[in-house]
Structure 1
Amino acid sequence: MSHIMQKAYPLSWLLLLASLTALGPLSIDMYLPALPQMAQDLHSTPQKIANSLPAYFFGLAIGQLIYGPISDRIGRKKPLYFGLTLYILGCLLCVYANSDWGLIIARITQALGGCVGVVMARAAIRDRLDVEGSAQAFSSMMIVMGIAPVIAPTLGAWILVFFSWHMIFQCLALIGLICLVNVHFFFQDTLAVEKRLHLNAKQVVVLYGSILQDLRFTFPMLCGCLSGGAMFVYINSATVILMGQYHLSQQQFAYVFGINALGITLMSSINKRCANRLSVSQRLVLGGVIQFLGTLLLIVAASFEHFPLWGVMLGMFIVVSSIGLTGPNAMALAMAEQGARAGTASAIMGSMQFMTGLIGGVILNFLIWGELLNMALVMLLCSGGALMAMYQVVKRRAV
């Protein structure tokens, strides 16, 4: 049955879903090379401007909790109209921001709109495919989506060669508009009317509670959130470490960032090739172990005063690329049993993932050591926690 379903929804369908999901990495990564310039123009510091990144994670976390149950009630397409329109508005607010707090508010607005894409994409896949089909679909989508963080900082850096940082957010607004047009003409609602849930506010709270009590969802969710949290810590710290500590230019930073992001695409491809040899849970654990080893390398790098750049880059590459294994498999396992409540379950998982990124960013502000060691320690906390959750997943699936 899953093969029939997969043939009915070809690569073009996944490309549309990937473009909606790619709004997140584009919005997160594209402006990173501009942080020093933005700090100067807004009469602030790079660290204060960098706080717009956790602010974006906050908007992503809150917005997904809203869109999930709404989509289970009214379908997947209508929320896309609203969210993408709000995203475009948020991009324009970023263009006209004249202070660090104005930028933070604009970024929250941008995230509240942009997060609709990832919620609807995950829910649409779960609407149509079984657990193995979902794992394959999520891997295919991550391969396509992996192009976004490769291109984003490079594109942002080249925009800065010819224009000011404002042009970056104008380009993001245009991308949002293109996504909105594609949704209108090419996205068909995947949740049939008879399967929609009739929820009021109280029932939504009860639904959230019942999903979180389902350990078949909770432990895979924790795997995805914690391993993803390590990547968000990297995104928070990469600019300061690579441009500040190792003095890379905007273009050099963009290339290094793009290479790391390309690792996600590489691991996603390996994940698909291993489908016939390893189970979904085995591939999940493999990704977790690889990420943990990467964090250990970064701990070693941070222990030396002048550790070579290539060693730091290798550790970052291992940590980030492992998401190509942990991400799709954790998502497939978490969503496997959710049925008609897939939108709400998708929202919870996405929200908790970005909340982990937000918490990681906050922790970084309170640690007293160097930027590299701070990043490595928070990554170690995330990847170690992910491995503990993976143990529970394997243990329960073996019963």
Structure 2
Amino acid sequence: MSRPIKFKTILLACLIISVGQLSMGLVFPSLPWIAKDFAVSHEQVQILISIYLLGFGPSQFIYGPVSDALGRKKVLLIGLMIAMMGLLMIIFLSHSFTGMVVGRFLQGLGTGCCAVLARASTRDRFSGAELPVAMSYIAMAASVTPLIAPVIGGFINFHFGWTMVFTSLMGYLCLVWAIIALRFQETIGQTTPLPSPKRVLLQYRELLSSRYFMSFASIGWLNFSLMITTISVMPFIMQNQIGMTSDKYAMWALIPALGMLAGASICNRVRPIIGSKKLLLYTPVLHVAAALWLFFCPLEPLYLMLGQLLMILGNSISLPCVQAMVMQPYKKQAGAAAAMSGGGQMVVSSIVSMMLVNLGLSQAWHLSLIIVVFAAITLSNILRGFATPEALQQTAPTQ
């Protein structure tokens, strides 16, 4: 008989992973007002987002191996303290745009620990059939937070001004820090000396040379790249070809956003019944369906959003599965595996999405061709990943 899953543990992991999402999403609605107060252009104020990601993404490669040695709790508390230092700099230097940029970098540098350690600590506590279930809830939290963050941030900015947005973030981080200090139970049984830089590089080299790891990690990396590319291109299609205003597009965009929630929920309910492999195979099927829909559908908002919904549904079904598969064999190196998975996703998605956007994608049928290519790559990675000895050993009881 399977033991009941520890939902308090999952809830704490969801709280941790929400920090990075809120730290970015709450700020989006305030950017025009910040640009106006500092008399900078819209392009210049975007540095507050890019500099945050510059700290958030690469720092994950450090937090993972360090937490494998020192423990998750200590590294989490230190990382959040760095983020709070950045927020304090923003709050007290709110008259200096340069001070805000430096503060945002520190904030991203600190919150990078949350994305890695939420998943690594989950891997420490769960294994087998429980791990994909736990990961699905974390993926759901990571999907819900970007939906509500701009709404909350816009409300705070409208009623209290943009400085209160950062003050509110400071309060939230203090609350999370206190909860971790009081409620988070260390998941590493025994600490070890910090690994040398050479040892860290060897760990990442080992992961990158693993056919198993790269097969499943690349599914997440490329599907996330596809989602970022579609989200970047679709507003231009809707606004330039249909004449839709940005506020109306924001309302229509809720339709595909719901696909994130639906996909995580489907993964949670269906995966235990049919297994990870069969469920993952629905991802390229949904992507091909989305591609065909976007290629032939009328150029109208509802049809375009339904096509995007199918694509994001496929992505969100696959994400919890591949995250669980990536983490499954690396219990003693969960931090390094989570760092390479999450940090690699940030790096690969930024490069791939930038390359695709620079190709001049401007039509719905352009997107459909890209989606078909990605579906073929995803199918190849699924078949290759499940053919490895590691996957055959782990999935034998459920496939």
Superposition deviation, residue 224 in structure 1:
1.1
CA distance in 2, matches of 1:54, 1:388: 33
- Structure 1 equivalent of residue 246 of structure 2: 248
Q: Tell me which of 380, 386, 389 is aligned to 1:388.
A: 380
Contact 2:256 2:312 in 1 (8 A): yes
Q: Which amino acid aligns with 2:148?
A: I
State the partner residue of 2:316.
Answer: 324
Residue 232 (structure 1) aligned with residue 224 (structure 2): no
Q: Is the 8 A contact 1:151 1:258 kept in 2?
A: no
TM-score normalised according to structure 1 size: 0.84
Q: Does 1:356 align with 2:357?
A: no
Looking at structure 2, the residues matched to 382 and 114 of structure 1 have their Cα atoms a distance apart, in angstroms, of: 30
Do the aligned partners of residues 357 and 204 (structure 1) sit closer, same or farther apart at CA in structure 2, a change above 3 Å counting? same
Q: Could you say what secondary structure the match of 2:272 adopts?
A: coil
Matching of residue 62 in structure 1 with residue 42 in structure 2: no
* 1:268 maps to 2:256: no
Q: Where in structure 2 are the equivalents of 1:367-382 lying within 5 Å?
A: 367-368=359-360, 370=362
Question: How many Å separate the matches in 2 of 1:377 and 1:25?
Answer: 30
1:19–1:145 contact (8 Å) kept in structure 2: no
Q: Is the 8 Å Cα contact of residues 146 and 265 (structure 1) preserved in structure 2?
A: yes
Once the two structures are superposed, residues 281-300 of structure 1 have per-residue CA deviations (whole angstroms, 9 ceiling, x without a partner) of 22223134324543554566
What is the CA deviation profile of residues 325-378 of structure 1, one whole-angstrom value per residue up to 9, with x for unaligned ones? 111100111111112111111111010011123224533663445497887777
When the two chains are superposed, the root-mean-square deviation of aligned CA atoms in Å is 3.3
Look up the match of 2:119: 122
Deviation of 1:269 after TM superposition, in Å, equals: 1.1
The alignment status of 1:26 with 2:18, answered yes or no, reads no
| Kept in 1: contact 2:291–2:367 (CA 8 A) | no
- Cα 1:237–1:370 change in 2 (3 A) is closer
Partner SS for 2:333? helix
For the residue of structure 1 that corresponds to 2:195, the secondary structure is: coil
**Residue 94 of structure 2 contacts residue 163 of structure 2 at CA under 8 Å; is this kept in 1?**
no
Q: Percent identity over the alignment?
A: 25
- DSSP-derived class of the 1:338 partner: coil
- Report what 1:289 is aligned to: 285
> Partner of 1:323: helix, strand, or coil?
helix
* Aligned residue number for residue 173 of structure 2: 176
Partner-residue secondary structure (3-state), 1:162 = helix
Larger Rg: 2
- For the residue of structure 2 that corresponds to 1:22, the secondary structure is helix
Residue number in structure 2 paired with 1:158: 155
| Distance change >3 Å, CA 371–CA 363, structure 1 → 2 | farther
User: Does the C-alpha gap of structure 1 residues 77 and 375 become closer, same or farther in structure 2, counting only changes over 3 Å?
Assistant: farther
Aligned residues: 388
Contact 1:30 1:156 (C-alpha < 8 Å) held by counterparts = yes
- Matched-pair contact (CA < 8 Å) for 2:117–2:335: yes
Against the structure 1 CA distance between its residues 384 and 77, is the aligned structure 2 distance closer, same or farther, given a 3 Å change threshold? same
Shift in Å, 1:83: 1.0
TM-score calculated relative to the size of structure 2: 0.84
The 5 A counterparts of 1:304-319 are 307-319=299-311
CA 1:373–1:173: 2 relative to 1, 3 Å: farther
For 2:303, give the aligned amino acid. G
* Structure 2 residue identity aligned to 1:217: F
Q: Measured at CA, do residues 198 and 160 of structure 1 come closer, stay the same or move farther in structure 2, by a change above 3 Å?
A: closer
Q: Which of 75, 81, 89 does residue 77 from structure 2 map onto?
A: 81
Matched, 1:278 2:296: no
Distance of 2:131 and 2:44 partners within structure 1: 39
Residue 138 (structure 1) aligns with: 135
Deviations 1:256-307 (CA, angstroms, capped at 9, x unpaired): 4555433212211111211233211222231343245435545667xx8xx3
| Worse overlay, 51-60 or 213-222 | 51-60
